[in-house]
Amino acid sequence: MEMGGLFVKTHFVKKPMQFSVRDVEVEAPESDEIVVAPRACGVCGFDVLTAKFLAEDWMGIGHEVTGEVAEVGTAVRNVAVGDRVVVENSTFCGLCVQCKRGNVVHCSSMNHYLSPGAFAERLKVKARAVYPLGDLDFCAGALAEPLTVAIDMVEAADIPLSGSVVVFGPGPIGLMICRLALLKGAARVYLTGHAHSEARWQAADTIGVTEKLYVDAPGFSLQEYFREHEPQGVDRVLVTSPPATVAEAVDICRFGGIIAYDGISFDASQQIVLDGNALHFKRLQLRGVHSVPNLGWPQALDLLGRRVIDPEVFISQTFPFAEVPEAVRFAADNRKDTVKVMVDFAL
């Protein structure tokens, strides 16, 4: 069926936690574009932050998406109508100076969604922005996007064989990092966070973290704990919690250690106050990770397909497309019970 000029239902948000469904026109794809019919989309923590704090005006959300190709442009050869795909939320252009230098992660002209967001009945993207889903179901495949972030973090941290690793933050990406760190051969993987995230701590047990550390436990001190258990300091700290916690990472890292961080916030905790002398005299490396464009899609889908990263451990709730507002609110307000909230368009 010809999709050009079709008006489709699309979910929009505006702070603080306001929601609207609008009819948005999806025009016919240009020669190098395709139209995808989303089938599953995860609720990212950034979607919650957008709905709570960032959306000054109405904007679309959703970027952890899989679907079926509904229409293709005349020059498209890599996919066909009916193909099952995972959609990249951003794709390097391949043409700018940085791309031509082979430095695609610093692309200066990335291609983003050509539609407001993935919580929509149709999504228009460049044909090169999709990757075959393989045998994964749509919901499992939608975990690939956060998994690419976890892969990026683990590779940036250069985790040593038999090393000690601390992961700040038990969210889906932090949990995936723990699993990958163990897969990389880390001897000990510690996970820190607030005690209320019960479902996430249960997932941590399933993954097999060495120790769960509740930073809000009465009398608990992260520095004192590691002075006792890792007196030389830990090899690596990977931060998915707010940026302010990087200061604690500096405290517990060993001489010559590496800190990778990808945490964000939009309040006072976005400020990092560091002891510069400690950073200098301990010869630490602080590596910021921003996974845009996301890379590692083949690895992510392989890990999910082989259940090295088990989708059943991560997907804690599913909502239908009509209940996207409820899904986002649930992810925001029920941290005790959630690991990853998924929107399944088939429900």
Which CATH number do you get for residue 91? 3.90.180.10
Q: Classify 17 in phi/psi space as left (phi over 0), alpha (psi -120 to 50) or beta.
A: left
Same domain, yes or no: 313 and 223: no
Instruction: Reply yes or no on whether the pLDDT at 1 is more than 50.
Output: no
Query: pLDDT value at position 2?
Result: 45
Q: Is residue 296 part of a domain?
A: no
Same domain, yes or no: 316 and 281: no
Q: pLDDT > 70: what percent of the chain? A: 99
- Model pTM score: 0.95
Q: pLDDT > 90: what percent of the chain? A: 90
Q: How confident is the model at residue 265 (pLDDT cuts 50, 70, 90)?
A: confident
Query: pLDDT value at position 188?
Result: 98
Range of the domain at 265: 147-288
Q: Is residue 66 part of a domain?
A: yes
Same domain, yes or no: 340 and 269: no
The tens digit of pLDDT for each residue in 106-128 reads 998 988 877 889 999 999 999 99
Same domain, yes or no: 201 and 259: yes
Q: Is residue 301 part of a domain?
A: no
- The mean of the pLDDT values for the chain is 95
CATH number of the domain encompassing residue 200: 3.40.50.720
Instruction: Reply yes or no on whether the pLDDT at 136 is more than 60.
Output: yes
Q: What is the tally of structural domains in the chain?
A: 2
Q: Is residue 284 part of a domain?
A: yes
Same domain, yes or no: 130 and 10: yes
Query: pLDDT value at position 17?
Result: 96
Same domain, yes or no: 335 and 251: no
Q: What is the mean pLDDT of residues 309-328?
A: 98
Same domain, yes or no: 152 and 205: yes
The CA distances from residue 307 to 20, 78, 303, 313, in Å, are: 36, 27, 6, 10
Same domain, yes or no: 38 and 83: yes
Query: pLDDT value at position 3?
Result: 43
